[in-house]
Copies of this chain bind each other. A is one copy, B any other.
Amino acid sequence: MNYFSSDFRLGILGGGQLGKMLLSDTRKFDIATLILDPSEEAPAQYGAFEFIQGDLMDFDTVYQFGKKTDLLTIEIENVNLDALEKLEEEGHKVYPSPKTLRLIQHKGKQKDFYNQNQIPTAPYQRFESIDELKKQAAGTGFTFPFIWKAAQFGYDGNGVKVVRSLSDLDALPNTPCIAEEMIPFKNELAVIVARSASGEIRTYPVVEMEFHPEANQVEYVICPARIEKNVADKARSIALKVSEKFNHVGLLAVEMFQTKDDEILVNEVAPRPHNSGHYSIEASYTSQFEQHIRAILDLPLGNTDSKVAGIMVNLVGAEGYSGQVHYENMEHILKIDGVTPHIYGKRETRPFRKMGHVTIVNPDMNEARKIAQQVKETIQVISK
């Protein structure tokens, strides 16, 4: 084990904000890190030992990039898995493994996997095309509304839709998909699990996504979740089981629903640092980014406890603004104790584009929650 100021080369597929935040910790440990990303404006282009521009879905590009590194990880799931499989066959270390990624990349297979492993999840049906789904939805025994999910390539709410009537299906792409029963839930929760190559495993506390009462949009990620201890324990133990069954290495963010009856249903997973863990940079003893690096390098895992309560607010582009970004009222939120903005480094804002996030930490959760609202109501991502 000699990763620090050495000839060891870590490769990361993807150079978005997650890659950028991973680099903050590879720099801290002085682990030489190479980044592959298609965009010349990738947030992670600074801080890398080498930044290479290239297509993450192209076999040769990913394969050749992999050959330049001693260990490969990802910050985005949509990468060329055939290349990763070939690298793995050739004895290259790839975490998470392409096998895990293939399962997770496909929502139909992911749901089947939960059923096969007795992991509670919402009832669903798989379809090879929207036409097949339409045929069945037109028949009897199909309840509206339901959730349509594209089997592949969805991100940030893309590829997910509430279907209220047959005609809603007309707007959807004719690709493999699933139809999922709509579960009325009390809370949307998430647990990040870290698992190292040698099997050491730790879970972060349960976080809660608080939604806007009308807009049905996540406004705050809150750690710890304001739920009863037995529900939190159940969520953590289910997340642990998911992690063990996937046999993954690195981080696994497990998104879950807490039903009206306090059942926990697994919604979906992400095998990498996750938006629901951003609070950890300021609030936790070990940030999710440092933890991911520890896990894939088979270093001992760090303490997942929090020092203080943490709340995360996403900074997304305001509606009606496109172009060179301007962070309006930044000086007002910086005045408040315990407020840390993270600016991802995207020059152009667009409505709803993820441009950054703000973490609020405080010893007192109620105080943190008040400040989070103040932050949300103050800062605006606009163009000038």
Which residue on B lies nearest to A29, using beta carbons? Answer: B343
Looking at the complex, which one of B30, B331, B335 makes contact with A345 (CB distance below 8 Å)? Answer: B30
Looking at the complex, which one of B24, B47, B327 makes contact with A4 (CB distance below 8 Å)? Answer: B327
Is A1 interfacial (CB 8 A cutoff)?
Answer: yes
**What residues of chain B lie closer than 8 Å to A49, measured between beta carbons?**
46
Residue of A27, A361, A363 with highest tally of chain B CB at under 10 A: A27
Looking at the complex, which one of B307, B337, B344, B345 makes contact with A308 (CB distance below 8 Å)? Answer: B307
Which residue on B lies nearest to A327, using beta carbons? Answer: B4
Which A residues, 326 to 384, have Cβ-Cβ distances below 8 Å to chain B? 326-327, 330-331, 334-335, 337-338, 340-347, 361, 363, 384
Count residues of A near B (Cβ-Cβ below 8 Å). Answer: 46
Which residue on B lies nearest to A326, using beta carbons? Answer: B2
Closest-CB distance, A278 to chain B (whole angstroms)? 12
Which residue on B lies nearest to A304, using beta carbons? Answer: B337
Query: Once bound together, how far apart are the Cα atoms of A299 and B363, in whole Å?
Result: 24
Is A136 interfacial (CB 8 A cutoff)?
Answer: no
Is A216 interfacial (CB 8 A cutoff)?
Answer: no
With A307-B361, A334-B294 as given contacts, are A342 and B24 in contact (CB-CB < 8 Å)? no
**What residues of chain B lie closer than 8 Å to A48, measured between beta carbons?**
46
**What residues of chain B lie closer than 8 Å to A341, measured between beta carbons?**
4, 28-29
Is A5 interfacial (CB 8 A cutoff)?
Answer: yes
Is A325 interfacial (CB 8 A cutoff)?
Answer: yes
Q: Are A325 and B5 in contact (CB under 8 A)?
A: yes
**What residues of chain B lie closer than 8 Å to A120, measured between beta carbons?**
none
Q: Are A338 and B285 in contact (CB under 8 A)?
A: yes
- In the complex, per-residue mask of A57-89: 1 if CB is within 8 Å of any chain B CB, else 0: 000000000000000000000000000000000
Is A302 interfacial (CB 8 A cutoff)?
Answer: yes
Closest-CB distance, A347 to chain B (whole angstroms)? 6
- In the complex, per-residue mask of A185-205: 1 if CB is within 8 Å of any chain B CB, else 0: 000000000000000000000
Which A residues, 21 to 56, have Cβ-Cβ distances below 8 Å to chain B? 23-24, 27-30, 43, 46-49
Looking at the complex, which one of B47, B302, B330 makes contact with A1 (CB distance below 8 Å)? Answer: B330
Which residue on B lies nearest to A341, using beta carbons? Answer: B29
Is A174 interfacial (CB 8 A cutoff)?
Answer: no
Is A111 interfacial (CB 8 A cutoff)?
Answer: no
With A24-B24, A307-B307 as given contacts, are A5 and B345 in contact (CB-CB < 8 Å)? yes
Closest-CB distance, A286 to chain B (whole angstroms)? 8
Is A275 interfacial (CB 8 A cutoff)?
Answer: no
Q: Are A334 and B5 in contact (CB under 8 A)?
A: no
**What residues of chain B lie closer than 8 Å to A340, measured between beta carbons?**
28, 290
